[in-house]
C-alpha cells in the first residue's frame, strides 16, 4: 500500500513542480518581460499593407494624354528600430569598453567564415546584459572551436573553449545598421546630419518617409545596400506631357496625389483613386513573409475626357508666346470655343510655368487669366448694343447716325472718336468702332433695357466650367446709372468681366441669337448644349454681316484676315484703371473677338494682351494677329471648308514708323 502511496506523492509533486514552472514562466512573460515581448510582437506580426491605386488620367477630345500617373519609388524607414539599434549598440560598446573602431578592427582580425570572435565574456551577468540588448549581428556562444585566420598577411590560430561564453559578431550586419543613415543619405544625395536629426526627432514612430517621387531605378540601388529597417514603396507621380502650354489650366497635384490647382482641383473627387489594404505578416526587418488576404481592393480613379484640342491649345500658347516676345506685355491670354456647342477647344495664359518641375509651381504663371482676371472689354461690347437696338426696332441696317465732329459732351464728360466720321450707318459704326455712334444708339433705348441685356449676356455671372479661381464680373446696379454710365457701358467701360465671359457672349452671333454655355468636357454627338435666346435670329445675323467689315480692308482688324475664309470680329483697346482712380493714360488692354468662318461660324476666339509696351497697343495691331495665326491652322485641323472664293491679299504688318501704321491707327478705335 505504501508503495502505491509513494508513487502518487511523486506524481503529485511532479505536477505541482510543472505547474509552478508554467506559472513562473507566465509571470515572467506577461509581467516582468511584457514590454520586451510587446516590442518583439510589434516587430513580427500581422500588419496592414497599403496597395496604392492610380489617379484617373486626363485626355483631350481626341484621346491624347494630358495628365498621367507614372510609378515612382518612395524610400521610408522605421525610426524607432533604427534609433533603438544605434542606442543599444552604443550601450554594448560601453559594456565591452570598446570603441566602434576597435570592435570592427577585432572583427576583421578574427574572422571565421561569417562570424568573428571578439572575446570571452567573463561573467554570466554581463552575458545576460549583452543578450538583453538584442543588438543585430551580436552572438553569444558556448562552443569549442579552433580556426585559422589571416590578418595583414599574418596567419593566426585561434581556439575557443566551451567552458566560457564567447562573443561573436557578424561584421557585415553590424556595419549595415550602424551606417544605415549615412549610406542612405549618400545614395539619396542629402545631408546625413539632417536625416539623422529628423530620424531622432521621430524616434517613437514606426514609419517615416525619407524621400519620395524617386525614379524606379532607385529601387535596385536601395535594395543592393541591404539596409535594415529601410523600405521601398510604390507611389504615383503626376506627369503632364504638354508642360507649359496647359499648366495653368490643368493645374497639378501635391506629393500625395491630391489636386491643388486647375482641373486637377476642380475634379479631384472624380479623378482620385482609392488605396487598397492587404493583411500581411512581416519579419523583424520589415519584409513581407506571408500574405493573409485582401481587406479592400484598390480602385483606380475615373478618367476625364476634356473638350480641349491638344493641337489648338499648343497653337494658341505658341502664338501668345510670340506676342510676349514681340510686344513685351504684362500678360497675354486667349480662349477658343466651338461656336456651336460651347466646348472649350483651347484656354491659354502667359506667363506660364513648367508644371512638371515642383520648384516652379509658384508666382504669376500659376494664374489662369482667362477666368481669373477681370477687365473692361472696351469696344468688343459694341456689337451687342447695336444688335439689341436692331432687335428693339429703334434702328435698322440703313439708319443714319450723326457722330458730328468726333466729340460728344454728356453730363460734363466728353466722349470722342479718334477722327471725325460724320454720318454713319450701323455697319460703319462697327467697322470704324465709333464711340459716339454707339452711345447715341444706346440713348435710343432705356437704361433698363441696356442693363438687362448685359445681365442676360452673363457679364456678372460665372460659367458652367466650375474652374477654381474663376471671378464673376461686375455690373453697376441700374438704379445707380446716370446718363454717362449708359454711354460708357455701351462701348465697354464701367463694367468688368473675364475673357471666358466675353467669348461666351460672342456665341450669340454663331447660333441665331442663342447664348451657348462653355463646356470643359467633350459632348456626345446627340447631346444638346445649354442655350438661351438673347437676340432674334435676324438681328444676330445682321450683326454677323456687319462684323465681316471689321476684318477687311478699311476695318480696324485687317490683320485678322485669313485667305479663303470670311472673318467676323471686333477689336477693342481699353485704358486700364489707375490705382488712384480714373484711367491710366498710357496703359492698355488690347482685345480682339472673332468668329470664323463668318458664313457659318465653327469657332469663336477671344484674345487679350495686357499692357503691351513696344509702342503698339491697338487691338487690331496686337491681338488680331494672334487670332489670324491660330485660326489659320485650327481651321485646317478641324477640316473646315473655305467659304470665300476670293483670296484677298493679306496686309503686311507694318513697322511702327511707317505711313501705313499711321493710317491704320487712325482707323483703330479704343
C-alpha torsion angle, residues 610, 614, 619, 625 (rounded to 10): -110
Q: What is the DSSP string of 180-227?
A: HHHHHHHHTT--HHHHHHHHHHTTT-S-EEEEEEE-THHHHHHHHHT-
The closest alpha carbon to 618, from 540, 549, 555, belongs to 555
Helix (H) or strand (E) holding 1: none
Measured from the Cβ of residue 480, the count of other Cβ atoms closer than 10 Å reads 7
Please give the span between the terminal C-alpha atoms of the chain, in angstroms, as a whole number. 129
Joined together, the cell numbers standing for residue 624 give 488680331
Strand 474-475 versus strand 495-496 pairing type: antiparallel
The closest alpha carbon to 266, from 68, 58, 63, belongs to 58
- 272 in active site: no
Q: Which residues contact 317 (CB under 8 A, 6 or more apart)?
A: 244, 245, 246, 348, 350, 352
The catalytic residue among 245, 272, 307, 379 is 379
122, 163 contact by CB (below 8 A): no
How many whole angstroms separate alpha carbon 596 and alpha carbon 51?
51
Q: Grid coordinates 444676330 are at which residue?
A: 540
The beta strand positions in 111-205, using DSSP E, are 111-112, 115-120, 138-141, 145-151, 154-160, 166-169
CA angle 189, 192, 198 (to 5 degrees): 115
| Residues taking part in catalysis | 379
Amino acid at each position: 500500500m505504501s508503495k502505491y502511496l509513494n508513487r502518487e506523492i511523486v506524481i503529485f509533486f511532479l505536477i505541482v513542480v510543472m505547474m509552478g514552472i508554467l506559472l513562473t514562466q507566465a509571470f515572467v512573460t506577461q509581467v516582468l518581460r511584457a514590454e520586451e515581448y510587446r516590442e518583439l510582437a510589434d516587430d513580427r506580426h500581422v500588419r496592414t499593407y497599403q496597395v496604392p491605386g492610380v489617379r484617373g488620367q486626363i485626355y483631350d477630345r481626341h484621346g491624347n494624354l494630358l495628365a498621367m500617373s507614372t510609378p515612382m519609388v518612395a524610400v521610408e524607414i522605421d525610426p524607432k528600430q533604427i534609433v533603438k539599434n544605434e542606442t543599444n549598440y552604443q550601450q554594448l560598446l560601453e559594456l565591452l569598453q570598446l570603441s566602434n573602431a576597435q570592435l570592427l578592427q577585432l572583427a576583421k582580425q578574427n574572422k571565421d567564415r561569417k562570424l568573428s570572435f571578439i572575446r570571452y565574456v567573463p561573467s554570466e551577468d554581463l552575458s545576460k546584459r549583452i543578450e538583453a540588448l538584442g543588438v543585430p549581428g551580436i552572438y553569444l556562444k558556448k562552443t569549442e572551436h579552433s580556426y585559422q585566420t589571416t590578418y595583414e598577411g599574418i596567419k593566426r590560430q585561434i581556439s575557443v573553449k566551451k567552458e566560457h561564453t564567447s562573443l561573436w559578431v557578424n561584421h557585415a550586419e553590424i556595419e549595415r545598421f550602424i551606417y544605415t543613415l549615412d549610406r542612405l543619405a549618400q545614395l539619396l544625395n542629402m545631408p546625413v546630419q539632417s536625416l539623422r536629426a529628423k530620424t531622432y526627432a521621430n524616434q517613437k514612430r514606426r514609419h517615416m518617409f525619407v524621400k519620395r517621387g524617386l525614379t524606379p531605378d532607385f529601387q535596385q540601388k536601395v535594395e543592393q545596400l541591404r539596409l535594415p529597417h529601410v523600405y521601398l514603396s510604390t507611389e504615383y507621380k503626376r506627369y503632364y506631357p504638354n508642360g507649359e502650354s496647359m499648366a495653368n489650366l490643368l493645374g497639378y497635384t501635391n506629393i500625395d496625389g491630391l489636386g491643388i490647382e486647375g482641373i486637377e482641383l476642380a475634379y479631384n473627387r472624380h479623378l482620385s483613386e482609392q488605396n487598397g489594404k492587404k493583411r500581411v505578416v512581416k519579419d523583424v526587418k520589415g519584409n513581407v513573409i506571408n500574405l493573409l488576404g485582401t481587406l479592400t481592393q484598390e480602385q483606380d480613379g475615373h478618367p476625364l475626357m476634356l473638350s480641349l484640342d491638344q493641337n489648338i491649345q499648343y497653337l494658341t500658347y505658341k502664338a501668345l508666346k510670340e506676342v510676349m516676345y514681340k510686344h513685351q506685355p504684362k500678360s497675354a491670354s486667349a480662349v477658343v470655343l466651338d461656336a456651336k456647342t460651347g466646348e472649350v477647344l483651347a484656354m491659354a495664359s502667359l506667363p506660364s510655368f513648367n508644371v512638371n518641375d515642383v520648384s516652379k509651381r509658384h508666382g504669376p504663371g500659376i494664374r489662369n487669366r482667362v477666368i481669373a482676371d477681370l477687365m473692361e472689354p472696351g469696344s468688343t461690347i459694341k456689337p451687342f448694343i447695336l444688335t439689341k437696338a436692331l432687335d428693339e426696332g429703334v434702328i435698322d441696317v440703313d439708319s443714319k447716325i450723326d457722330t458730328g465732329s468726333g466729340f460728344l459732351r454728356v453730363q460734363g464728360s466728353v466722349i470722342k472718336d479718334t477722327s471725325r466720321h460724320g454720318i454713319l450707318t450701323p455697319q460703319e459704326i462697327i467697322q470704324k468702332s465709333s464711340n459716339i455712334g454707339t452711345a447715341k444708339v444706346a440713348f435710343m433705348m432705356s437704361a433698363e433695357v441696356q442693363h438687362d441685356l448685359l445681365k442676360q449676356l452673363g457679364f456678372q455671372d460665372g460659367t458652367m466650367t466650375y474652374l477654381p479661381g474663376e471671378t464673376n464680373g461686375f455690373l453697376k446696379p441700374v438704379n445707380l446709372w446716370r446718363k454717362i454710365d449708359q454711354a460708357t457701358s455701351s462701348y465697354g467701360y464701367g463694367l468688368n468681366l473675364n475673357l471666358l465671359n466675353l467669348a461666351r457672349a460672342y456665341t450669340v452671333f454663331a447660333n441665331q441669337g442663342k447664348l451657348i454655355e462653355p463646356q470643359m468636357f467633350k459632348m456626345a454627338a446627340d447631346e444638346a448644349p445649354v442655350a438661351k435666346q438673347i437676340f432674334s435670329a435676324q438681328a444676330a445675323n445682321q450683326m454677323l454681316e456687319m462684323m465681316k467689315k471689321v476684318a477687311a480692308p478699311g476695318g480696324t482688324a485687317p490683320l485678322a484676315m485669313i485667305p479663303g475664309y470670311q472673318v467676323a470680329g471686333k477689336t477693342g483697346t481699353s485704358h486700364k484703371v489707375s490705382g488712384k482712380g480714373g484711367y491710366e493714360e498710357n496703359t492698355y488692354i488690347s482685345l480682339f473677338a472673332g468668329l470664323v468662318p463668318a458664313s457659318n461660324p465653327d469657332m469663336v476666339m477671344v484674345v487679350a494682351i495686357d499692357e503691351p509696351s513696344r509702342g503698339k497697343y491697338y487691338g487690331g495691331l496686337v491681338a488680331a494677329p494672334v487670332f489670324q495665326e491660330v485660326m489659320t491652322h485650327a481651321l485646317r485641323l478641324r477640316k473646315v471648308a473655305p467659304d470665300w472664293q476670293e483670296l484677298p491679299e493679306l496686309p503686311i504688318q507694318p513697322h511702327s514708323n511707317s505711313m501705313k501704321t499711321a493710317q491704320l491707327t487712325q482707323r483703330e478705335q479704343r
